Amino acid sequence: MFLRLFVRRVLAGSCFVLLVWPVAAQEILTLEIDRAKIVELPAGTNTLVIGNPGIADATVLRRQNRIVLTARAYGQTNMIALDTRGQALAEVMLVVKNAEFGLVVQRGLERETWTCSPRCEPAISPGDSARHTGEAIKQAGQHGGFARPNAPAAK
């Protein structure tokens, strides 16, 4: 009985350490949703791996040791830089969060996001209601149509 309880405690403790320790040892890079950030890569980077490109995606800048990271959805993922032998040069935890400015209106289960600087305008954000998102896309399409003289009108 004592041995079984001891093994459970050791296993529970080691699982906790295995899950928490690697994250704490990594650098954390915070990104804002729908925004891009230029990031320097370690010298000798040959391959870049992003754990979940649905959360953050990378575009490599040619002839430079830099990338453009774009935050696609809320959440966390990791990015690993590898050399030509496949050895990890660096690993970074990417955390995507909402922008610091703006307004979120919650009406029951319906959510709307607004960008305010200084006047509030509708914005699109994951988690917004379909009605709000559809209206914001429609308005953006109508507005964008003015910039293209021969473009078909938005419906």
Residue 8 lies in a domain: no
Percent of the chain whose pLDDT exceeds 70: 76
Residue 114 lies in a domain: yes
> How many domains does one find in the chain?
2
Same domain, 48 and 112: no
Give the number of other Cβ atoms within 10 Å of residue 112's Cβ: 20
Summarize pLDDT for 105-128 with one digit per residue, the tens. 999 999 998 888 778 888 888 889
User: What pLDDT is recorded for position 104?
Assistant: 87
Integer Cα distance of 73 and 2 in angstroms: 47
Q: Is the pTM of this model over 0.75?
A: no
Domain residue limits at 77:
25-97
C-beta of residue 48 within 8 angstroms of C-beta of residue 60: yes
User: Per-residue confidence at 103, pLDDT binned at 50, 70, 90?
Assistant: confident
Residue 152 lies in a domain: no
Same domain, 39 and 77: yes
Same domain, 92 and 114: no
Amino acid letter, 18: L
Same domain, 52 and 79: yes
CATH number for the domain that contains residue 58: 2.60.40.1380
